[in-house]
Structure formats: structure tokens, C-alpha cells
């Protein structure tokens, strides 16, 4: 994970979900789905919190939140933002690895948000450990949210953006393994894992949990970002409305950049 940490130490994660209206779709869709299940008294653990966009959102709604990330820079940013706030919220920020949550007690949280780690767990064993640890610290009946990146979106977007990746090798690598690592010819990012909606459902179904929702969190918005960013408020609200109506449609889910699984621990 050192490679991933080094990447994010030099990356502006803060703006990923907030820089423009097209990027904001993912946040809006994610919170819309989560809000159907998260109540104000629920204690929330966020894994891979980045600079805390979701953690601050739920802490601001009154939830006690523990925000964790493997990148020290992100935790320092969260702590600095906490110092600058005028209102008091219940938010702790700690460096932690999503595949080893041994510092947290079993069944201590009502909600575990895993909205980033799966993107970079290139080893299958670590993906299992991430879900296993998430469920260990989650109360029975609690909510586990797992976000992932769709390999078919990756193929289309990367090959169109850079024809150096328009090769059989790149296509086969993403389709067959879903994994890229820094230093490889096929790497356009950092160490990363991409999957499909069906594969993610198959993974979580290996655990004692029930899938209660599965949505596309940005749909076609990344492809249409220039058009979306030029929309007026009324048009943008209509676009959000369409996304909310279509996010469970399998054809949209199969093309979306990001997908979100909501699971209930049995």
C-alpha cells in the first residue's frame, strides 16, 4: 500500500467530489442512498475517508463519526478542518489500514462506510480482509456500504482519452484481472482494482450479509461533464432527478464509473 499512500500524498483528493457539478453527482447519489438507512444516533466508521467529505457530512448531521485513512496527509487535513470549524461535531480522525482494524472493538459501529479502499486493494486476499474486518466491527443489523470502480467505464474512458492504451494488452489486462500497478505499461493511475457490478455482488455474497441496495452513483455524468457543468440550477436539478430515478437500472449500473453496494449484517 506504500505506492498508494505516496500517490495520495501528492494528490488533491479534496476536490474530487466537489470541484464541479459533474463530480458532485457521485456525492449526491451516495448520500441519497445512505440517508435511507443512516439515522442520527448511528455511530459511523469511515474507511478510506480521504479528506473527510462524507465524514464531515454525517458528523454535521449529528452522527458520531470516526474517519480513517491510510494516508497521513488526509488525516492531517481533516484535523485542520476540525480546528477551523466554529461548531462542535463528534468527529475523530485516525490513520488506519482498512484491512486491519484491530484497534477497534468488535460490533462497535452501526455503519461502516468503505467508499474508497476497494479501489486500491489489488490483492484478492486483502479485499476479503477489508470486508471481513468491516463486518467484525459492525453491529448485527448494521449497514456496510462498499463503493467500487467499474472496469468497463475504465476501459471506455481511458482508451478514448489516451490512445496509447487502445491496445489488446490493456483491454485483456483490465477484463481478465481488473488490476493495474505502478511501473507497468498498462498503468494510467496508481495501484488500482476495477471490477463489475455482478462480481462485486458475488464477493459480498460470500459473507453473512444481505444486499439491500445497489446503485450507480455517477451513471453517465463523467462522460457528459462539460454539458453538466454548463447547466443552470433548474436543469441540474432535473439531471439529478433523472439519476435518482435511473441509478438502479442495470444498463446504467453497468456503464457507471462508480457503483455502491449497501449491505446489512445478519
Position 8 scores a pLDDT of 74
Segments of the chain with pLDDT less than 70: 1, 5, 10-18
In tens, the pLDDT along 124-157 reads 999 999 999 999 999 999 999 999 999 999 999 9
pTM, to two decimals: 0.94
Q: How many angstroms separate the CA atoms of 188 and 194, rounded?
A: 13
Position 10 scores a pLDDT of 67
The helix/strand count (H/E) of the chain reads as 11, 9
Query: Which run of H or E residues covers position 66?
Result: strand 65-69
Length of the chain: 266
In tens, the pLDDT along 21-48 reads 988 999 999 999 999 999 999 999 999 9
Which three cell numbers mark 161? Answer: 482519452
Spell out the domains of the chain, with CATH numbers in brackets. Answer: 2-150+195-265 (3.40.50.150), 151-193 (no CATH)
Task: Give the residue from 89, 157, 98, 150 showing the smallest Cα distance to 128.
Answer: 98
Distances (CA, A) of 116 to 41, 71, 84, 132, 169: 24, 12, 25, 16, 27
Residue with cell 475523530: 92
Amino acid at each position: 500500500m506504500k505506492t498508494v499512500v505516496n500517490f495520495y500524498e501528492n494528490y488533491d483528493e479534496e476536490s474530487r467530489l466537489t470541484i464541479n457539478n459533474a463530480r458532485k453527482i457521485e456525492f449526491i447519489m451516495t448520500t441519497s442512498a445512505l440517508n435511507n438507512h443512516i439515522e442520527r444516533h448511528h455511530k459511523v466508521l469511515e474507511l478510506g475517508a480521504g479528506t473527510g467529505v462524507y465524514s464531515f457530512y454525517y458528523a454535521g448531521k449529528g452522527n458520531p463519526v470516526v474517519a480513517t485513512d491510510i494516508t497521513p496527509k488526509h488525516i492531517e487535513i481533516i484535523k485542520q478542518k476540525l480546528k477551523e470549524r466554529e461548531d462542535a461535531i463528534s468527529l475523530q480522525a485516525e490513520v488506519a489500514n482498512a484491512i486491519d482494524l484491530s484497534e477497534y472493538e468488535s460490533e462497535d459501529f452501526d455503519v461502516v462506510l468503505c467508499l474508497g479502499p476497494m479501489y486500491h486493494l489489488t490483492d484478492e486476499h486483502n479485499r476479503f480482509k477489508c470486508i471481513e474486518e468491516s463486518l467484525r466491527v459492525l453491529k448485527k443489523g448494521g449497514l456496510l456500504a462498499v463503493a467500487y470502480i467499474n472496469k468497463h467505464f475504465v476501459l471506455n474512458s481511458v482508451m478514448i482519452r489516451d490512445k496509447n492504451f487502445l491496445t489488446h494488452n490493456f483491454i485483456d489486462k483490465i477484463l481478465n484481472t481488473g488490476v493495474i500497478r505502478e511501473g507497468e505499461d498498462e498503468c494510467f493511475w496508481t495501484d488500482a482494482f476495477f471490477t463489475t457490478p455482478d462480481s462485486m455482488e458475488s464477493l459480498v455474497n460470500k459473507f453473512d450479509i444481505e444486499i439491500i441496495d445497489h446503485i450507480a452513483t455517477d451513471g453517465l455524468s463523467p462522460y457528459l461533464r462539460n454539458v453538466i457543468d454548463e447547466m443552470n440550477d433548474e436543469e441540474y436539478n432535473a439531471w439529478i432527478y433523472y439519476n435518482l430515478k435511473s441509478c438502479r437500472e442495470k444498463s446504467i449500473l453497468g456503464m457507471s464509473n462508480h457503483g455502491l453496494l449497501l449491505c446489512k449484517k445478519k
